[in-house]
Amino acid sequence: MNFENLKETTVNSKELFRGVVANLFIDEVELPDGSHSTREYLKHNGAVAVIPVDDDGNVYLVNQYRYPFSRVMTEIPAGKLDTPDEDPFEAAKRELREETGFTSKKITFLGEFIGSAAIIGETIYVYLAQDLVAGKQDLDRDEFLNVIKMPLDKLVKKIMDGEIADGKTLYAALKVDKMFNEKQI
């Protein structure tokens, strides 16, 4: 059956849990064919991620322990929006400074990354930071990470070899690599 309209309509929505970072819902929905089903999902304020690249083509990444995966992961700097209406551009500047100490004279919006469209209502706004100015880190009280520097081509190789699995990092690094190679930036 070919559905021209694939929209699902909310019939009932129930919040099961309200957290600091996300809220859990279960909704009853009407499907395009008129039948009903349920959708369980997390609603999140959203987040930002920044790929800082210096004049020599080095990317500044963070190594951070990620509790759900019980391991240290290599990622681009990122953080949640403090409120649903926070300006992502301002949040990106904040997260870059807090996590790496850098500020940037040139920040370019790369696009939106949606990591798990089926169950998590989180949009990550991704930015490229260039013309970096070194400064002092200002980590949150409960934030522990190490900043590492890596040439962009080495980062892409690690991604292609399966050594780096973080979705927002893959998205940003591969996009920036292609844009640099095609002289779009």
Q: What is the pLDDT of residues 12-45, one digit of tens each?
A: 999 999 998 899 999 999 999 999 999 999 999 9
The pLDDT, as a whole number, for residue 1 is 53
Would you state the structure tokens that stand for residue 127, as one six-digit string? 């930015």
Percent of the chain with pLDDT over 90: 94
Q: How high is the pLDDT of residue 82?
A: 92
CB 109 within 8 A of CB 89: yes
Q: What is the pLDDT of residues 82-95, one digit of tens each?
A: 998 999 999 999 99
pLDDT digit string, tens, across residues 125-152: 999 999 999 999 999 999 999 999 999 9
Quick one: which of 81, 60, 61 has its CA closest to 73?
Answer: 61
Query: Which secondary-structure segment (H or E) carries 147?
Result: strand 145-151
CA distance 166 to 117: 16
Residue type, 174: L
Reported confidence tier of residue 184, pLDDT bands at 50, 70, 90: confident
Query: Contact 83/45 with Cβ under 8 angstroms?
Result: yes
